[in-house]
Structure 1
């Protein structure tokens, strides 16, 4: 009898066809609506593999309902949506999709940095709303990018890719990482700084670290107070890294210049979220990896992990537990 795979969100037909050659496949067929909790709990009861997204909460209750589950394949680099301890306890493998989205996410991060620095969305809205009057010397002015100082918090794959883009703009790059990477300092022409020092010196602060409870609200009131009044915060990592209430106050009071956010602590973000009311915030709906090629690669890697594990092999990209 074929093993069963459940997918929590609609995937491209080509990807599904690959799975269907080997397994019985069931799928929640809505693209923009998460699978309801009661349906998820029912669907996992007889499955051997689960393919899920970052927005799906795969906690101990879900895992406990799935006695035959062998693998949870997350279509994302992050995996804070999964109760890893509960999975390990039951011998369930957990995989993610690192590597394939590095360059695409670095592209989006630098695009968000540029759009925020130059007030691109504000200027575009003014034009579309008929608010572009006579040319004014200081109207729509933003911050320069070339030769500015970029501070990167977290020098992983995406952080390194971001450095290469910044160097094309002749930026001075500082980085903070849990462990110093001296070999990368010479290779990439970057400089290590302790967190508080980086916050004080950087014109742009980019968050590039994975989320964990240890770094919850890493950037809060105290950290924001260290930043320059002309500084810009960019977050394309995880929303929980930033205290959003403290960020709102810092932006509202112009303690920092602006912020560019692709991620929020609670997603999807409600339309009345207080940060969306500010004109010095550029916001995106978590699209860091959203190029067609990359999203297809992520889905394909998630499927390959399932095929390998259910076939008796090793996971290709296991989460380090």
Structure 2
């Protein structure tokens, strides 16, 4: 478990707390109250409403922004109104909602929280794989339905144990997935920009596929664990889906736009692949009449990869450590650089 050194969380006695801007406390989109309480130990918390109501005073006090669930929106107008802003602390690992080049042009640093999210996101990847393989959602519906009089003997799923898992993206989260898959005696393939060290591969029994196509052709389950960039946008399209086994399942725990959703709809409708399990879509949530919502060989969850009590607290603590490191001129644990 990620632990922040206490020294990183100290504020000098007698000093005015540095201002941190957040969207709100509580409500539908605001920072959860217990997380806001953590922030208040180290910062003067200023909501977006308070900032707009007293902009002249608040603009000079705000030295950081805490981005929670992608909010508040960081645009040029906001950056221009905060002359003393030094850092944007993103809660979460993905920063595709932030224009890193624009933010950097204002001399502002961006940080994320890769350590805090790895276990919980890997867990949801395994949960989606197991749920889809064993058709747990359908099974629950059958078990509780008032119309059920008997359980059909030909209602079958597929096994995860000894199956082949292809992991696309072997960073912190992808490696955590591999560790879990090893316990299921799975054959593990992976594709990544950079190959892992031999010792790391051997520790989880993972085999490197230099070409993503080789992984797609061999895998029973394909799990996407990559960051959303210009290169990975619609990484999985009609061609890639066509390379997969007709018995394969596609699992996405990264970002919705990694998949060409129109191509996925076709593949699921035409049984090009067996099933899909998505914790992310584009947009989120999908419009209620979206074709993906009408298919019976898909599972969609509401982007809950890091939605655990432990993970969101760790993410906040990691973001606080990052922000304080920037403000105190110390080495930054998790800085994100524009490409």
TM-score (norm 1): 0.89
Structure 1 runs of 4+ aligned residues shifted over 6 Å read none
Q: Does 1:26 align with 2:41?
A: no
What is the distance in 2 between the residues matched to 1:99 and 1:196? 30
After TM superposition, give the deviation of residue 116 of structure 1 in Å.
0.8
The equivalences for 1:33-112 within 5 A come to 45-46=59-60, 47-56=62-71, 57-112=73-128
C-alpha contact (below 8 Å) 2:22/2:65 kept by paired residues: yes
Aligned to 2:148: 132
Aligned to 1:169: 184
Q: Does 1:201 align with 2:201?
A: no
What is the distance in 2 between the residues matched to 1:171 and 1:101? 23
The equivalences for 1:118-129 within 5 A come to 118-129=134-145
**1:272 maps to which of 279, 289, 304:** 289
C-alpha contact (below 8 Å) 1:19/1:307 kept by paired residues: no
Q: Does 1:154 align with 2:169?
A: yes
SS across alignment from 1:214: coil
Name the Cα RMSD after superposition.
2.3
Aligned to 2:304: 287
Aligned to 1:320: 337
Give the 3 Å change call, closer, same or farther, for CA 274–63 of structure 1 in structure 2.
farther
What is the distance in 1 between the residues matched to 2:43 and 2:195? 45
Give deviations 1:83-102, integer Å, cap 9, x for gaps: 11011111101010111121
Give deviations 1:177-231, integer Å, cap 9, x for gaps: 1122251322321111221111111000000111101110000011001111110
Aligned to 2:319: 302
How many residues in Structure 1 have an aligned counterpart in Structure 2? Answer: 311
The equivalences for 1:233-248 within 5 A come to 233-248=250-265
C-alpha contact (below 8 Å) 1:54/1:78 kept by paired residues: no
**1:3 maps to which of 18, 42, 50:** 18
What is the distance in 1 between the residues matched to 2:305 and 2:69? 13
After TM superposition, give the deviation of residue 129 of structure 1 in Å.
2.6
The worse-fitting range, judged by mean Cα deviation, of 162-171 and 5-14 is 5-14
After TM superposition, give the deviation of residue 131 of structure 1 in Å.
4.0
What is the distance in 2 between the residues matched to 1:135 and 1:17? 50
SS across alignment from 2:287: coil
SS across alignment from 2:231: helix
C-alpha contact (below 8 Å) 1:9/1:52 kept by paired residues: no
**1:217 maps to which of 224, 234, 243:** 234
Give the 3 Å change call, closer, same or farther, for CA 318–61 of structure 1 in structure 2.
same
**Any unmatched runs of 5+ in structure 1?**
29-34
C-alpha contact (below 8 Å) 1:55/1:267 kept by paired residues: no
Give deviations 1:140-161, integer Å, cap 9, x for gaps: x111111110000011111111
Aligned to 1:31: none
Q: Does 1:252 align with 2:269?
A: yes
